[in-house]
Structure 1
């Protein structure tokens, strides 16, 4: 069975990692412990080592892509194995019509009752990120509010004037 190369966690608060570059290419032989790609977090850029010896296959994240911690980003085919695609269901794939979103974005959206299909994604491939959901929530909160100086708000309140009508 192919061995997954997962996005590692380098920091306590790390939620994702960004692929900087692959040091080995699809189909190349790798040795356990050999550096196969570079990953960047908020604080550090590190090399990721091969978890097994074999052939690197099924690269799922290219340079510049942000991947949640624990997600497979490639596989290592052990000697004698034949590559038939990722084992089991693809964790990065989303059901037909459902938006792709990071796990953190999904949790925030669920907590605030936000339909992710209404949130424009700015991540790689249109993926909805934490910042996208937070921006959507901020925009939703600002709708219906009129920009006015505090003194103008107070005066309008005292005179019974609806700032929406001004």
Structure 2
């Protein structure tokens, strides 16, 4: 039975942590006390040691994701059971590959003003977006409830100390994540 690894309480009054990077990939072996993930809180950045020996079966949290303490972040299986539990994905058939190439959109050229037409002036059809794909976070609609701002814990803490609304700070990190430097730059403009 795989064992859950939870985000520990790394310091007093720490309520959340950000997974900065995984040091071990899924399916790789782990020794007990081997560092396997790097986590940052508003007080400390640390490499967490594995509490078990085994194989990293599944990462439950993505890099850059902020999660509360005591949240499961990974599953570790014992070496013997890992092979039976690792998901085996069969190679897609030729038909499936051909169908996917028909449905999935390719790279989309810059908008030349003829975006409403299915045909470009040279007569080639334009790629059509796949209606079955999930929208990315950038495609949210105003009717949705406000989402939590993606920011590193240290940036949240600094914004609180400076009395700034973190939602007003433009983020320069991956996916628009607000970093400490962004908060300092925003405060300097104010």
- TM-score, with normalisation over the residues of structure 1? 0.52
Which residue of structure 2 aligns with residue 17 of structure 1?
A: 17
Which residue of structure 1 aligns with residue 41 of structure 2?
A: 41
- Structure 1 distance, partners of 2:149, 2:25, is 24
Relative distance call for 1:30 and 1:15 in structure 2 (3 A) is: same
TM-superposed deviation, 1:62: 1.5
TM-superposed deviation, 1:18: 0.3
TM-superposed deviation, 1:51: 1.0
Deviations 1:4-53 (A, max 9, x none): 11111111111111001011111100001000010000011011111111
- Structure 2 matches for 1:126-137, cutoff 5 A? none
Deviations 1:48-95 (A, max 9, x none): 11111111011011111001111111111112213278xxxxxxxxxx
- Structure 1 distance, partners of 2:77, 2:48, is 17
Which residue of structure 2 aligns with residue 71 of structure 1?
A: 71
Which residue of structure 1 aligns with residue 85 of structure 2?
A: 83
User: Contact 2:14–2:43 (CA<8 Å) still a contact in 1?
Assistant: no
Structural RMSD (CA):
2.4
Question: Is 1:121 the counterpart of 2:147 in the alignment?
Answer: yes
TM-superposed deviation, 1:122: 2.6
Relative distance call for 1:66 and 1:24 in structure 2 (3 A) is: same
TM-superposed deviation, 1:119: 3.8
Q: Which runs of 5+ in 2 are unaligned?
A: 88-142, 151-164, 166-190
TM-superposed deviation, 1:118: 6.9
Relative distance call for 1:12 and 1:55 in structure 2 (3 A) is: same
- Structure 2 distance, partners of 1:27, 1:84, is 7
